[in-house]
């Protein structure tokens, strides 16, 4: 019996993999596919699905060794919804056949994912969705409108929540599907935001056919599946795997160091926000481990709330530090975002963009309700619509 430690054994597996797959000579996608097949994508996932059934804390062993060898990563910033929200939902609820079909191209970034959740009349109150799915042979016909759908214009697949039984209460009449975004009847239209970009979309579903095989969970139990996705979403947004001085605080720290004139009055603010960002980064490391182990909890709402607050405060100080130039932002042209040019954007861009942090992925007000009720155990708000059939609710 070997006395080799788990991290040493994993490091040896990485070295063996690299001896047969040279990232300097292999095409990027082929290398990523091979990495997935070798169980080095998500080491905590099951064997055959990109992993080895190991502790998620061992993933940095793989990532560090491959980065040192010059290996490409899977550009996680380009498929945040797929990696952070779709993958754990698929792993928990999809059939073995669909796990095999979806997880590898999701991880390699060959297929981008979005989520068709929010609607014009169902955002913070997501359980009130009105998009209908009715049985049709071996599948369902879906009709309705979704909104604020990030990456829908680039997505191959979508997580979809629809109402299948309007005679049930709003939480019980929902069913969860995966929708092929290339299906006839899917219409994606851009939504322009403060920055001029159109990260988001509204999506119209006109009699879209979804095979029953692409239903996750039982009919009427969509809210249970949705909760898993939402908890992972909040951890993915608020507890991203960033290095020290990564994310918003990195831009502020760089601006402070490069500034020709530093306002002493801002020094304490910069230092305080740096400490807050570092504390948040270390605190959320445990939440990522919970998520990777399939155990996301309501604590993710706290991470998401903290991230939104910090990002907005940091962006505001960055604008102050830039002085008059901080107000300069003159590119409001309608365009799709380029996720790889963040370094070249002005402080004013981040000031405008972070306004959305307290809305996307659940508003800060809803996050506070979840923390109050599910973390602190405070009395729940009175809700008068929980025992009324959805079809009888006023709209």
Cβ neighbourhood burial of 103 (10 Å; 0-12, 13-18, 19+): buried
Q: In whole angstroms, what is the distance from residue 53 CA to residue 44 CA? A: 5
Q: Between these two residues, 335 and 86, which has the higher pLDDT value?
A: 86
Told to judge if 233 belongs to the known catalytic residues of this protein, a careful annotator would answer yes
Q: Out of 56-60, 97-101, 268-272, 384-388, which region has the weakest mean confidence (pLDDT)? A: 384-388
Across the range 246-274, mean pLDDT stands at 89
Q: Which of 382, 131, 90, 394 is nearest to 215 (CA)?
A: 90
Q: In whole angstroms, what is the distance from residue 292 CA to residue 281 CA? A: 16
Read off the pTM: 0.86
Report how far apart, in Å, the C-alpha atoms of 56 and of each of 46, 110, 120, 183, 279 are.
11, 24, 38, 36, 21
Q: In whole angstroms, what is the distance from residue 52 CA to residue 40 CA? A: 8
Across the range 25-48, mean pLDDT stands at 97
Largest CA distance in the chain: 70
Q: Which of 211, 209, 223 is nearest to 165 (CA)?
A: 223
Tokens (6 digits) for 31? 């290398």
281-317 pLDDT tens trace: 887 777 666 656 655 566 677 788 888 999 999 999 9
Other CB atoms within 10 Å distance of the CB of residue 363? 16
Computed from CA positions of residues 342, 343, 346, 352, in that sequence, does the dihedral angle turn out positive or negative? positive
Q: Which of 168, 172, 146, 173 is nearest to 159 (CA)?
A: 146
> Read out DSSP for 228-277?
HHHHHHHHHHHS----TT-THHHHHHHHHHH-SS--HHHHHHHHHHHHHH
N- to C-terminal Cα distance for the chain? 66
Q: Of 197, 233, 292, 299, which is the active-site residue?
A: 233
Q: What is the pLDDT of residue 235?
A: 61
Distance of CA 282 to the CA centre of its chain: 19
Q: What is the DSSP letter of 70?
A: T
């Amino acid at each position: 019996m070997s006395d080799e430690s788990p991290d040493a054994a994993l490091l040896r597996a990485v070295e063996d993999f690299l001896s047969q797959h040279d990232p300097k000579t292999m095409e990027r996608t082929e290398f990523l596919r091979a990495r997935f097949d070798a169980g080095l994508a998500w080491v905590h996932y099951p064997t055959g699905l990109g992993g080895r059934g190991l502790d998620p804390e061992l993933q940095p062993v793989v990532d560090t060794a491959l980065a040192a060898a010059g290996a490409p990563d899977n550009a996680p910033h380009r498929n945040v919804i797929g990696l952070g929200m779709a993958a754990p939902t698929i792993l928990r609820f999809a059939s073995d056949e669909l796990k095999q079909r979806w997880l590898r191209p999701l991880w390699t970034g060959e297929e981008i994912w979005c989520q068709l959740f929010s609607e014009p009349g169902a955002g913070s109150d997501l359980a009130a969705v009105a998009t209908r799915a009715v049985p049709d042979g071996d599948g369902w016909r879906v009709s309705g409108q979704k909104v604020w759908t990030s990456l829908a214009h680039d997505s191959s697949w979508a997580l979809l929540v629809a109402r299948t039984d309007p005679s049930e209460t709003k939480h019980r009449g929902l069913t969860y599907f995966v929708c092929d975004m290339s299906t006839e009847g899917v219409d994606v239209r851009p939504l322009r935001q403060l920055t001029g970009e159109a990260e988001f979309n509204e999506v119209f579903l006109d009699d879209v056919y979804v095979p029953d095989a692409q239903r996750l969970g039982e009919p009427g139990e969509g809210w249970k599946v949705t909760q898993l996705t939402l908890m992972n979403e909040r951890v993915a947004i608020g507890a991203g795997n960033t290095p020290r001085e990564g994310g918003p605080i990195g831009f502020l720290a760089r601006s402070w160091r490069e500034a020709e004139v530093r306002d002493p009055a801002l020094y304490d603010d910069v230092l305080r926000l740096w400490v807050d960002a570092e504390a948040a980064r270390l605190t959320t490391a445990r939440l990522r481990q919970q998520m990777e182990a399939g155990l996301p909890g309501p604590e993710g709402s706290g991470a998401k709330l903290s991230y939104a607050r910090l990002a907005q405060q940091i962006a505001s100080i960055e604008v102050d530090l830039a002085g008059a130039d901080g107000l300069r932002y003159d590119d409001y042209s309608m365009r799709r975002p380029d996720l790889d040019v963040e370094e070249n954007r002005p402080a004013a861009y981040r000031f405008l963009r972070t306004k959305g942090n307290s809305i996307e992925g659940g508003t800060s007000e809803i996050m506070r309700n979840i923390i109050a009720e599910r973390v602190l155990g405070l009395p729940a708000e009175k809700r008068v619509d929980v025992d009324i059939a959805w079809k009888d609710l006023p709209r």
